[in-house]
Amino acid sequence: MPFRRCSEVRANRLRRAVRELMTRRGADLRFGRTLPRALRAAGLVDVTAAGCFPVGGVACDRLKTATVRMVRAELLAAGLANDVEIDAHLAAVDAGGLDLTLRR
């Protein structure tokens, strides 16, 4: 498998591992999409919010690598990733070998 393809597969696997870890912690990964409906159901009608996050580029790379670094020990303890794949992923991102974008 070519290097870029391996890096992409590894990045996707780590993305899924982080999401699995969040789910195991009790995070509702649909919360942002379901919150408006829950607020309306509670009788709130004039609620607004604004937010932003990087969907690509250097800011996205930094966000994704910071996330992996922050939960690395937990990913290892849960058996969701190993040191070799985490180190390879971080090195590939640092080298600019991946185009990380947030999945929508």
Q: What is the pLDDT of residues 49-89, one digit of tens each?
A: 777 878 888 888 999 999 999 999 999 999 999 999 999 99
Residue 47: inside a domain: yes
In a domain, 103, yes or no: no
Q: Is residue 100 included in any domain, yes or no?
A: no
46: Cβ contacts below 8 Å, ≥ 6 apart: none
pLDDT of residue 16: 96
29's tokens: 């990964």
Q: Is 25 part of a structural domain of the chain?
A: yes
Domain tally, the chain: 1
Residue 73 belongs to what domain range? 3-94
Mean of the pLDDT values across residues 13-24?
96
Identify whether 42 is part of a domain. Answer: yes
The answer, yes or no, to whether residue 101 has pLDDT greater than 60, is yes
Is residue 24 situated within a structural domain?
yes
Q: Is residue 29 part of a domain?
A: yes
Q: For the whole model, what pTM was predicted? A: 0.79
Per-residue burial over 67-103, b if 16 or more Cβ lie within 10 Å, else e, is ebeebeeebeeeebbeeebbebbbebbeeeebebeee
User: What percent of the chain stands above pLDDT 70?
Assistant: 93
Amino acid at 1: M
If we measure between CA atoms, which residue out of 42, 93, 36, 32 comes closest to residue 68?
Answer: 93
Are 56 and 102 a contacting pair, CB within 8 Å? yes
- Least confident stretch, 30-34, 49-53, 79-83, 91-95: 49-53
Domain-embedded: residue 58: yes
